[in-house]
Amino acid sequence: MNAKAYALYLKDFRSEIRTRYAVNSLAMFVLVATSVILFSIGNETITQSLTAGLFWVVIFFSAMSGLSRAFVSEEERGTSLTLQLIAAPSTIFSGKLLFNIVLVFCMNIVITLLYSALFDGFVIKNLALFIAAFFFGNAGLAIASTIIAAIISKAGAKGTLYPVLSFPILLPLILTSVQLTLMSFEGASFIEAKFELAIIICYDVIMLTASYLLFDFVWKD
């Protein structure tokens, strides 16, 4: 099962290398969104809590612009029936999830580097906490957006519905991640942030379990 999931991930990865569809649109989206924010800030100095919020605004909308491709592309090419024949639903979900996780991590590392170069308020005092928040936040983002992408690919309206469906599901994750990012700016210790970290890990585990359980129903026609 793992070998098949990895093969599926490699397939997506290779087709991404060839077309560079998701990477190009994601990179441009990050650039556009960040520059809109920079233009609107102008010469003002913004607080650290606002910087943490804006950081996650860009992450959320970039994710919404790129991650729905995972399943929609299979439906568009008409390859989803073949996939149904050759692999179990959970294997397919694992492969797609792996691809989305890699995509989210690459995207967010770029966003983090851009922010630390461009925003004065983006000064991380507790790097370990930031990395922990970054890791679990991105994992949760990838998990929830993958299962929503699966739902979207089977529904009629594809592009517009994706952020609408994802936002309420991602809201607890985003609120907690903003809080954790702010804490890492302020240099809070792990003890102070343990409650928020627990929430974010709970969210990841719950969403991962539910996604694997429910994906069967979404995938089988």
Partner 1 sequence: MAWKIFLFLLLAFVSVAGIAFPIVPVPTKWYEFPFIPGLKENAKIIFFHVPTAWLSVVAFFMSTIYSFKYLRKKNLDDDAKSYAAAQLGIIFCILATITGAVWAKFAWGSFWSWDPRQTSIFALLLIYGAWFALRSSIESEEKRATLSSVYAIIAFLTVPFFVFIMPRIMKGLHPGSADDTNSGPVIDFKMNANMELIFFLSLIGFTILYFWMWNIGYKSIIYRDKINKQYRG
| Separation between Cα atoms, residue 181 and residue 9, nearest integer Å | 30
Among 164, 187, 189, 194, binds partner 1 (CB under 8 A): 164
Nearer to partner 1, 97 or 114 (CB): 97
Nearer to partner 1 (CB atom), residue 7 or residue 161: 161
> Using only C-alpha atoms, what is the Rg of the chain?
18
Among 46, 57, 161, 197, binds partner 1 (CB under 8 A): 161
Comparing CA positions, the residue from 160, 163, 166, 164 lying closest to residue 147 is: 166
Judged by CB under 8 A, the residue of 114, 132, 165, 183 near partner 1 is 165
Nearer to partner 1, 114 or 200 (CB): 200
To partner 1, the closest distance from the beta carbon of 81 in angstroms equals 15
Q: In Å, how far are 4, 121, 176 from 44, measured between CA atoms?
A: 52, 11, 26
Label residues 84-105 b or e (16+ Cβ within 10 Å = b): eeebebbbbbbbbbbbbbebbb
81 is a site residue for partner 1 (CB under 8 A): no
Mark 179-198 with x for binding to partner 1 (rule: CB under 8 A) and - for no binding.
Answer: x---------------xx--
- Written as six digits, the tokens of 215 are 């994906």
Burial of 138 (0-12, 13-18, 19+ CB in 10 A): buried
Which of residues 118 and 206 has its CB atom nearest to partner 1 in the complex? Answer: 206
Taking CB under 8 A as the binding criterion, the range among 88-96, 109-117, 121-129, 143-151 that sits at the site for partner 1 is 143-151
By CB under 8 A, tell whether 136 contacts partner 1: no
How many residues touch partner 1 under the rule CB under 8 A: the total is 31
* Type of residue at 157: A
Q: Alpha-carbon distance 221 to 212, whole Å?
A: 17
Spatial contact of 101 and 139, defined as CB atoms under 8 Å apart: yes
Does 156 interact with partner 1 (rule: CB under 8 A)? yes
Least separation in angstroms between CB 202 and partner 1: 8
Distance set, CA 208 to CA 84, 95, 139, 181, 197 (Å): 21, 14, 9, 23, 17
Q: Which residues between 46 and 75 bind partner 1 (CB under 8 A)?
A: none
The residue from 167, 187, 189, 190 that contacts partner 1 (CB under 8 A) is 167
Binding residues (CB under 8 A) for partner 1: these are 144, 147-148, 151, 154-157, 161, 164-165, 167-169, 171-172, 175-176, 179, 195-196, 199, 203, 206-207, 210-211, 214, 217-218, 221
